[in-house]
Structure 1
């Protein structure tokens, strides 16, 4: 896969493809400084060469991965939004609404916390 469109074209169900595209469009509009990248066949947003947030698609959900430290920081907010959390991601079921406020806060947190980071991961 070369870009986000390649990934989106692999999603057969139109509603799922549209949902993910809406998320990507929201993030690009709100955070134009972020770069879209595909690494390990996963769409992600980076800034100055460091990872900010990534996504993957599963049969029953979208997985959102902002790194474990961010998940720990926002653990209560994730629970309040009704999302299931694992060690490295949280899941937005296809039947659930997307909390753009939570996404924005996580991205803002990572941008600030990693502003001087020179490596890809924390």
Structure 2
């Protein structure tokens, strides 16, 4: 992982939370090896051809995933069914909840396909 990811992970005090975030990040990199790692806006991000695909961050009660509003809207029902406490542009996975890797795979795959022709970092 890039140094900025390691610096961010080292600041997560709870060892179990740190291990969980590391597991998710490694899963993303293994499942989507073409994605590039980037750290910005205090988020661990993955990009494809310079465009944002998904970001992750942590808080006391949860780990957040942020795939932008369009992907959140596309998967709103599934995110709600997983009880991931959705916001407009991100979802919150409580530390006590399982990570739904199939859902993350669908969201990331959607963004990769939907943004294949995108030339900007964020959707316009």
Same fold, TM-score > 0.5, yes or no: yes
3-state SS of 1:7 partner? helix
Matched with 2:105 is 104
Matched with 2:13 is 12
Q: Would you say the 8 A contact 1:84–1:91 is kept in 2? A: yes
3-state SS of 1:84 partner? coil
Q: Would you say the 8 A contact 1:2–1:38 is kept in 2? A: no
3-state SS of 2:53 partner? strand
Structure 2: distance between partners of 1:55 and 1:101: 16
Structure 2: distance between partners of 1:5 and 1:58: 17
Written as runs of structure 1 = structure 2, the 5 A alignment for 1:39-50 is 39-50=40-51
1:53 aligns with 2:47: no
Written as runs of structure 1 = structure 2, the 5 A alignment for 1:1-122 is 2-122=3-123
Deviations 1:69-97 (A, max 9, x none): 00000001001112111111110000000
Extract structure 1 runs of 4+ deviating beyond 6 A. Answer: none
Query: 1:2 Cα deviation (Å)?
Result: 4.6
Structure 2: distance between partners of 1:90 and 1:42: 14
Query: 1:41 Cα deviation (Å)?
Result: 2.2
3-state SS of 1:20 partner? helix
Query: 1:56 Cα deviation (Å)?
Result: 1.0
Taking structure 2 as the reference length, the TM-score comes to: 0.95
5+ long unaligned stretches in structure 2: none
3-state SS of 1:112 partner? helix
Matched residue pairs, number? 122
Taking structure 1 as the reference length, the TM-score comes to: 0.97
3-state SS of 2:104 partner? helix
Structure 2: distance between partners of 1:62 and 1:13: 12
